[in-house]
Amino acid sequence: MATIETRGTSVRVCWRLGGTRDGARMSAPFKGADPDAVHKLAAQAKKLVEAYQHRITRDEVLRIVLGVDEAPKTGLTLAEWVKIWYADRKPANPEALGLGEIQQDTLDDYLRVLRLRVLPYLGHKLLTEIADEKDGERLLREWMKSLRKSRVRRTKHNPAGNPISANTIRTAHAVFHMVLAAAVPKYITFNPLARQGGSKKSRLGLPKPSAFEGMFLTPQETERILAHCDPHIKDIWFVLVRTGLRLGELLALRVQDATVEGDEPEIRVRRALKHGDRIGLPKSAKSIRAVTTDSDVTKVIARRCKGKGPRDLIFPCPGKKRDRHAEPTWRENNLNRRHWAPAVAAAMRCGLHPPPEPPKPKRGPRRALRPDEVSTCGCPGVLRRRPRLHDGRHTHATDLIRDGWELHDVQKRLGHASPLTTLTIYGHAWDGPKRDRLDELAERRRKKLMAEDEAA
């Protein structure tokens, strides 16, 4: 609902685009020497906004109320089309998806991107306006410009925040492209985000994708972290590094999914932990796989399966109080904040050169060290990087490649949908270590210089 606010001699009408909580904030100010005339204009603006169900921008309101422009056109807006698009793709039975159907959590992620990056800027616009050959491109360029200016992670020490990444912008573009493509040809004649024939680049000037930022740990680093993991996550980190499973796949494993006897012990990935502590299908069809385990991992799995029923979780959240119909699944953010971050921080602290103690308060005990308070010395053995739990998967993949595994075998073990994905992420590992070759080059250079000195 639109509201009228008075501030001194100024009166403004405030509303959200589309009338939803995630719509962009709009306000149309009116100011003049005659207070009655100003309030009359504001009342007209409020009626106009409500008549068009809040699907009108500040500039449009000002132009119409002041008699400069005509009323906006009517039709299906982008926000209305997104609701239809989402409802049409929502799976009737999430546990039995057909070919080409989108998983519920993936669909929810798409909707989250649209609500955060697209609808606040363009949700009130008609589909025909967005696809208009003249004005549509202007709207899309303004949208892309607004994305480039968007900032996140505003804190007390960084009130301006950081700009969103290039990959975030590209993801928003890709999801928006998919939504508009579904509206062709019923509502629009073409997809305005599609590349023109023969063009290799987007007309909107998409930023180049950011380089992959996975972390590949050395055996010394993984062992130091393991030594500082508390008992709740020690086995989780150990199995991640030795199997390459995704964290969600590991946390959804049941006793019936593991074989710990025979010549080929294995873990069968059939489920994954989703948003909201829900267990659903893995990321893709290729993610449904069997992963062979070594002897050490098999012992850990066997120990954790002992005394449990076939449908019990192998890695449940300890002490989690839920109703009797719910499973004791982990919350990934809770696991990371309460267990993983302290373990990494402890591995980054040196026993000889610990970080300074927190200041003693006037009353009460001294607070504990924060995860960002670590040692800055150069002592050997101290962890220098902040890996994620997911980097255990990257570390395992790199270990396989450097041990001589072929591309197809690595792809199958990791559950990648395409070998191109494996090659894009881990292609550098197939090059092999270069230190010995560089040392040989440096040695040849030294010998050459010595020979030249002797000749002189």
380-386: long-range pairs with CB below 8 Å, 24+: 381/220, 381/224, 382/224, 382/347, 382/348, 382/349, 382/350, 383/221, 383/224, 383/225, 383/344, 383/347, 383/348, 384/348, 385/215, 385/217, 385/221, 386/344, 386/348
Whether the predicted pLDDT of 71 surpasses 60: no
Whether the predicted pLDDT of 323 surpasses 80: no
pLDDT for res 319:
77
Q: Greater confidence, 149 or 434?
A: 149
Whether the predicted pLDDT of 297 surpasses 90: yes
Gap between the Cα atoms of 212 and 424, Å rounded: 9
Alpha helices in 91-213 (DSSP H): 104-113, 119-122, 127-130, 135-149, 166-182
Gap between the Cα atoms of 139 and 201, Å rounded: 18
User: Whole-model pTM above 0.95?
Assistant: no
Q: How confident is the model at residue 337 (pLDDT cuts 50, 70, 90)?
A: very high
Give the residue from 225, 209, 149 showing the smallest Cα distance to 385.
225
pLDDT for res 124:
84
Q: How confident is the model at residue 96 (pLDDT cuts 50, 70, 90)?
A: low
Two structure tokens written together for 398: 């790199």
DSSP β-bridge partners for residue 313: 254
pLDDT for res 73:
56
Q: Where are the domains of the chain?
A: 3-65, 78-182, 215-357+368-430
Chain mean pLDDT for the chain: 86
Which CATH number fits the domain 215-357+368-430, given the four candidates 1.10.443.10, 3.20.20.70, 2.102.10.10, 1.10.357.10?
1.10.443.10
Task: Give me the mean pLDDT over the 79-101 stretch.
Answer: 76
pLDDT for res 104:
82
Whether the predicted pLDDT of 255 surpasses 90: yes
pLDDT for res 245:
95
Whether the predicted pLDDT of 99 surpasses 50: no
Over the stretch 359-374, which tens digit does the pLDDT of each residue have? 988 898 999 899 999 9
Largest CA distance in the chain: 100
3-state helix vs strand vs coil in the chain, percent to 5: 45, 10, 45
Place of tokens 């629009």: 188
Task: Give me the mean pLDDT over the 107-126 stretch.
Answer: 90
Task: Give me the mean pLDDT over the 443-456 stretch.
Answer: 83
Whether the predicted pLDDT of 159 surpasses 80: no
Q: How many CB atoms lie within 10 A of CB 284?
A: 14
Instruction: Write the CA distances from 28 to 15, 51, 124, integer angstroms.
Output: 9, 16, 16
Q: How confident is the model at residue 445 (pLDDT cuts 50, 70, 90)?
A: confident
pLDDT for res 288:
92
pLDDT for res 54:
84
pLDDT for res 70:
47
Gap between the Cα atoms of 278 and 331, Å rounded: 10
Over the stretch 379-400, which tens digit does the pLDDT of each residue have? 998 999 999 999 999 999 999 9
pLDDT for res 384:
93
Q: What is the DSSP letter of 313?
A: B
pLDDT for res 21:
75
Task: Give me the mean pLDDT over the 279-291 stretch.
Answer: 88
Task: Give me the mean pLDDT over the 291-302 stretch.
Answer: 94
Gap between the Cα atoms of 282 and 269, Å rounded: 8
Task: Give me the mean pLDDT over the 204-218 stretch.
Answer: 82
Give the residue from 102, 283, 262 showing the smallest Cα distance to 175.
102
pLDDT for res 199:
63
The percentage of the chain sitting over the pLDDT mark of 70, rounded to a whole number, equals 91
pLDDT for res 321:
60
Q: How many CB atoms lie within 10 A of CB 429?
A: 18
